[in-house]
Structures are given as C-alpha cells and as structure tokens.
Amino acid sequence: MKAENVFARSRLLPLFVWIFGLLLVWEGASWLLLHVLETPLAQSKLPYVHEVVATLWKYGGTLIKEGAATFGNAGVGFLIGAVSGVALAVLMSLSRIIERLAFPYAIASQMIPILGLAPIIYGIVRDEQISRIIIAGYITFFPVSLNMLRGLRSVEPSALELMHSYAAKPWAVYWKLRFPAALPGLFSGLKIAAPLAVTGAILVELMGAQHGIGVIMLRNLYYGPSHTYMFWSTVIVGALLGIASYGLMSLAERLAAPWQPEFRPKGGSR
C-alpha cells in the first residue's frame, strides 16, 4: 500500500501513463492502417509495437554492439568539443579582443548544415571513426562555449568587488566564483549538445562507415519492407542513445551542482 502511494505521488506515474497511452495509440493506429484502411506498406509506415519489441529482443546483442560503437565515438567527440568550448569561453571572458576575434567565427561555423558538412569531413579524412569524432565535437563546441561564457559573466558585480577587495588572484576569482556560477549554464549547453553529438555520429555512419547503429539503419532501409522491424529497432536504439546521453549529463549536473533550485527538496534553501 505504501509503495503504491509513493509511486502515485512520484514523477513516474505521469510518465508511465503517457508511455502506456502512446504505445496503445501506436498499436491501434498500426492495426487500423494494416487491416481497415489497407494502406500500402502499412508496416513500413507504422509497424506493430510488439513486433518491433520482438526484433529488439532477438537482435539485442548486435544492436548493443553497434550502438556501443556509435556511443563511444560520439562520447570522445563530445568530450573534445566540450573541453574546447570551455577553454574558448574562458579565453573570451578574459579578453574582449579574443571574444571579438573568435565569437563571430564560432557563430558562422554553425551556419554550415551538418548534413552537408558530414560528407565533406568524411571525404577529407577518409576515416569513419575520426569523422564521427570530428562531427560530434563540432556539434558540441558551440552550445558549450556560448552557455559557458554566459555563465562566467553571470556573476554579481558585488561578489566580484568583494573578491577584489580581498586582493584575490585572477585564478582564485575563477575557481571560487566564476566557475561555480557558470556550472548551470555549462550543463545547459552539455545537455543540448550530448544528444546532438549522437545524432552527428549516426549521420556520419550513414555516409558509408563499417560499424555503428547508423550502418545497420541504412542497410535495413535499403532492404525494404522485409526489414521494416529491424530498421525501426535501429531508430529506437538511436533515440535511446540520445536519451542516455542526456540522462548522463543530468546526473553529472546533479552531482556537480546540487545547490540548484530544482535539486533541492521541495525547492527549499541550501
């Protein structure tokens, strides 16, 4: 009885209701397309959920192995992009000249569509693994640097004046004041960039890589209706990788910045 009350009061109940309702609607719509409307290629457009789940179970080992390859390369690129973004944000916060020199080019770099950039990078590097890392890092770099810079500059002037009145060294101002203030902004950028890094890695795999979830996705797309359930399984695995990356960043944020209002019990004070 107690466990039921905890479940009802927790955030899991609305989530469970939404997921269960969505699956029911999906299953019903799939049956409608296939048996009532008799839509051509109905299962390719909206397959049965239970068939997709069965495929996930049957080929789980392969999907996990290829998904791990995608996630690993996206993770390396994400870390490189995040470190580079943080470093540039610190440099721009130290010098307006560096900001004027670097920031416009950082913005301009984001104007290039990833769909067009990925084959260019792959054509130049000719290495699927390095290409995935470069694209994942490229996608990560801008949101991290932008949000980190905003966080570094969010410090109250009175707090800076207090540090300066104690003759604090520049590194002490950053370590004790600016970096803690920038953590919420930094993690906002990381949570935006992490799923995008996974998407970028999958996009490169679609160009002709040997391993990764995108490779299986492309192959089963070419094979047509006979591999519909496998194709949808790869789509779901790709989505789960993005969700997992976002969840990891959320967990890291909770551990690194537990004083934020949303992490306090009932929104109380520190």
Q: What is the pLDDT of residue 270?
A: 45
Q: What is the CATH number of the domain that holds 100?
A: 1.10.3720.10
Q: What is the mean pLDDT of residues 111-115?
A: 80
Please indicate, yes or no, if residue 270 is contained in any of the structural domains: no
Q: Which of 262, 90, 95, 83 is nearest to 184 (CA)?
A: 262
15 with 114, same domain? no
Regarding whether 102 and 35 lie in a shared domain, the answer is: no
Q: Are residues 17 and 86 in the same domain?
A: no
Q: Is residue 88 part of a domain?
A: yes
In a domain, 267, yes or no: no
Are both 24 and 88 inside the same structural domain? no
177 falls within a domain: yes
Question: Who contacts 86 (Cβ-Cβ below 8 Å, separation ≥6)?
Answer: 144, 145, 148, 186
Say if 207 falls within a structural domain.
Answer: yes
Token output for 145: 């640097």
- pLDDT at 207 exceeding the cut of 50: yes
> Is residue 239 predicted with pLDDT exceeding 90?
yes
Which residues touch 74 (CB under 8 Å, ≥6 apart)?
132, 136, 197, 198, 200, 201, 241, 245
On the question of pLDDT at 265 being above 70, the answer is no
Neighbours of 267 (CB within 10 A): 8
- Letter for the amino acid at 117? L
Q: What is residue 5's predicted lDDT score, i.e. its pLDDT?
A: 59
Q: Are residues 8 and 109 in the same domain?
A: no
Is the confidence at residue 176, as pLDDT, over 80? yes
Same domain, 3 and 101: no
How many distinct structural domains can be found in the chain?
2
The CA distance from 106 to 141, in Å, is 9
Domain membership flag for residue 17: yes
pTM: 0.84
The whole domain housing 184 covers 47-260
Same-domain check for residues 35 and 57:
no
As a whole number of angstroms, the distance between CA 183 and CA 12 comes to 27
Percent of the chain with pLDDT over 90: 43
Residues 64 and 91 in one domain: yes
Q: Could you tell me if 35 and 63 lie in one domain?
A: no
Q: Name the packing angle between helices 96-109 and 128-152 (round to 10°).
A: 140
| 11 and 89 part of one domain | no
Q: What number is the average pLDDT over the span 85-99?
A: 91
Residue 188: its pLDDT value, please?
A: 92
- In percent, how much of the chain has pLDDT > 70? 93
3 and 67 assigned to the same domain: no
Would you say the C-alpha torsion 56, 61, 62, 68 has a positive or negative sign? positive
More confident residue, 137 or 115: 137
* Co-location of 9 and 143 in the same domain: no
Answer whether residue 268 is part of any domain: no
Give the pLDDT score at 29: 92
pLDDT at 269: 47
Mean pLDDT computed over 227-236: 90
Residue 7 has pLDDT above 70, yes or no: no
For residue range 18-40, list pLDDT tens digits in order: 888 999 999 999 999 888 888 88
End-to-end Cα distance, the chain: 33
Q: Which two tokens stand for residue 155?
A: 């410090």
In a domain, 33, yes or no: yes
Average pLDDT value for the chain = 86
